């Protein structure tokens, strides 16, 4: 045996770093272990390099989980204001972009540097490129066999995140450990992810790649009103990423491309007011030109509005105000921001993140079945769950 620790934390992402800092503050001897060559890669690439590190309005309703109450205790113990306080202590400049989303003004690297500095202050030992081959438990301690030797600790924290973006380090390690300890795993799927189409719908989207609108998207009465962008593979943008967490394969999504306009009524009025105008030009008063022409082409409409029948106007307004699409899939884990589902929280204490049947074993962050909406909520979950585990290891 090479060395003993009070706490070994596996996974140096947002949750693992926060947990290590808090455990270190309590005088624990902590080893934070990362298998990649760099730590906190998701923080670095998040928010377009500026990390949307929390949300002013983050609350349990921003999360999907089998147990919607599970996240409440951790959020009450460590709030967005607590993280903002930490950011301010390190003089990191930030701003609200929209909808309470807080971003670094300069770079996400400032957050990584802050977390490293906090770890160093608490004497947390951080090692990268540590490959773990086996994990076991005896009466009182957990042992890991690694490429750097065998180590044991009283508390073991699994902070290895979800499956998204394998090329920067994501693995299924956390789920494997959960299975080893007989914990249930709720279905996993890529979420906060662009949606893809085949054939007909794809032709339409491809011709519009890069065009964006504000849209209202709806799955089973869950609605998001945010940007939508057409892509070469389908549709993306904040509203689509959000709804991807609720969409199920084979089910439709209803999209209102013009949420603030009742196009049916508007077209009836325009038929009286501007009868000589081509319908495509009328539509481009409300939507980007390219989208207006693509819709007319798709619906085979090229009349002047004064000559258009009620049926034609209805066809157009139905399409614009309630375009029903059946995505064929998602872009998958290579672009998804998070993994929906995860370790079933019924086996975990919501106030400590400790496994109820395995004292000393903790799970934090995205590996658990707690998935946030877009907008800084996922990092807030990583900070809050990491914090409470750090208080209890
Ligand atoms: C492109 C992108 C942008 C995002 N932007 C935002 C945003 O702006 N705001 C927001 O709130 N959320 C954002 N997210 C989501 C957010 O990054 C995650 O929810 C959050 O990082 C989860 O934290 P975590 O600590 O649980 O896991 P991670 O941050 O994924 O950390 C897990 C760590 O464990 C390591 N690991 C994995 N397997 C092993 C192993 N076998 N041994 C040792 N180490 C291992 C990984 O390399 C990684 O360092 C974004 C995600 C992506 C992919």
Q: From atom 7 of ligand 1, which residue's Cα is the shortest distance away?
A: 52
pLDDT along the chain (393 residues), means of 10: 84 98 98 98 97 97 97 98 98 97 98 98 98 94 96 97 97 98 98 93 95 97 97 97 97 97 97 96 97 96 95 97 96 98 98 97 98 98 98 98
Rounded to the nearest 10°, the torsion over CA 19, 44, 379, 52 is 140
* Residue 365 in contact with ligand 1 by CB distance below 6 A: yes
Residue 264 corresponds to which tokens in the numbers above?
A: 């049916």
- Assess whether the C-beta atom of 161 lies below 6 angstroms from ligand 1: yes
Q: CATH number of the domain at 195-330, please?
A: 2.40.30.10
Query: Is the beta carbon of 366 within 6 A of some atom in ligand 1?
Result: yes
Q: Which of 113, 374, 89 is nearest to 225 (CA)?
A: 374
Among 11, 16, 173, 348, the mutation site with the greatest number of ligand 1 atoms within 8 A of its Cβ is: 11
Q: What is the DSSP string of 17-41?
A: HHHHHHHHHTT--EEEE-SSSSS-H
**pLDDT reported for residue 295:** 97
Q: What is the C-alpha separation between 365 and 353, in angstroms, rounded?
A: 10
How far is it, in rounded angstroms, from Cα 328 to Cα 287?
Answer: 26
292 C-alpha vs ligand 1 centroid, how far in Å?
Answer: 39
Q: Where does CATH 3.50.50.60 sit in the chain?
A: 3-189+335-392
Q: Is the CB of 145 under 6 A from ligand 1?
A: no
Is ligand 1 within 6 A of the CB of residue 345? no
Block residue for tokens 């949307």: 52
| pLDDT at residue 2, rounded to an integer | 53
pLDDT of residue 198: 87
Distance 168 CA to ligand 1 centre (A): 9
Q: 113: which residues sit within 8 A by CB, 6+ positions away?
A: none
CA–CA separation, 176 and 173 (whole Å):
5
Q: Does residue 110's CB lie within 6 angstroms of at least one atom of ligand 1?
A: no
The predicted structure's pLDDT at residue 224: 97
Whether residue 253 contacts residue 325, with contact meaning beta carbons closer than 8 Å, is answered with yes
Distance of alpha carbon 380 from alpha carbon 305, whole angstroms: 51
**Confidence (pLDDT) at 133:** 97
Predicted confidence at residue 3, as pLDDT, reads 66
Angstrom CA distances, 378 to 64, 131, 245, stand at 11, 26, 13
In the three-class reduction of DSSP (H, G, I as helix; E, B as strand; rest coil), residue 382 is classed as: helix
**Is 169 close to ligand 1, i.e. is its CB under 6 Å away?**
yes
Q: How far is CA 25 from CA 44, 239, 274, 293, in A?
A: 25, 40, 71, 61
List phi, psi (to 5°) of 293: -65, -40
Expressed in angstroms and rounded, the spacing between residue 235 Cα and the centre of ligand 1 is 24
Q: Looking at the chain, which residues constitute the CATH 2.40.30.10 domain(s)?
A: 195-330
Asked whether 35 lines ligand 1 (CB < 6 A), one says: yes
* Superfamily of the domain at 3-189+335-392: FAD/NAD(P)-binding domain (3.50.50.60)
């Amino acid at each position: 045996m090479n060395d003993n620790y009070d706490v070994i934390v596996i996974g140096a992402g947002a949750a693992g770093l926060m947990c290590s800092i808090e455990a270190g503050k309590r005088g624990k001897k902590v080893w934070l272990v990362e298998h990649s060559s760099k730590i906190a890669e998701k923080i670095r690439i998040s928010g377009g390099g500026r990390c949307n590190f929390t949300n002013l309005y983050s609350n349990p309703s921003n999360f999907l989980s089998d147990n919607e109450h599970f996240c409440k205790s951790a959020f009450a113990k460590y709030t967005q204001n607590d993280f903002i306080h930490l950011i301010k202590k390190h003089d990191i400049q930030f701003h609200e972009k929209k909808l309470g989303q807080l971003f670094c003004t300069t770079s996400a690297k400032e957050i990584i540097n802050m977390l490293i500095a906090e770890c160093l202050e608490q004497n947390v030992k951080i090692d990268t490129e540590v490959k773990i081959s086996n994990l076991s438990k005896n009466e009182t301690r957990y042992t890991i066999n690694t490429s750097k030797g065998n180590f044991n600790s009283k508390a073991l924290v699994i902070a290895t995140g979800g499956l998204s973006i394998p090329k920067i380090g994501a693995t299924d390690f956390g789920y494997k450990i959960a299975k080893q300890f007989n914990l249930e795993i709720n279905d996993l799927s890529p979420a906060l992810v662009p949606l893809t189409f085949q054939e007909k719908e794809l032709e339409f989207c491809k011709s519009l790649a890069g065009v964006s609108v504000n849209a209202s998207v709806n799955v089973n009465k869950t609605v998001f009103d945010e940007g939508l962008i057409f892509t070469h593979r389908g549709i993306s943008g904040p509203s689509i990423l959000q709804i991807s967490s609720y969409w199920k394969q084979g089910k439709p999504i209803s999209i209102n491309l013009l949420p603030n306009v009742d196009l049916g009524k508007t077209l009836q009025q325009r038929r009286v007011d501007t009868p000589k105008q081509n319908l495509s030009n009328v539509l481009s008063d409300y939507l980007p030109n390219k989208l207006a022409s693509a819709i007319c082409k798709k619906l085979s409409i090229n009349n002047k509005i004064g000559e258009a029948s009620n049926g034609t106007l209805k066809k157009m307004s139905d399409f614009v105000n309630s375009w029903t699409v059946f995505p064929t899939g998602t872009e998958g884990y290579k672009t998804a921001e998070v993994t929906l589902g995860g370790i079933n929280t019924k086996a975990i204490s919501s106030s400590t993140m400790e496994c109820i049947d395995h004292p000393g074993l903790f799970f934090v962050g995205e590996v658990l079945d707690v998935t946030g909406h877009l907008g800084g909520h996922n990092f807030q979950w990583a900070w809050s769950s990491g914090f409470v585990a750090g208080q209890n290891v």
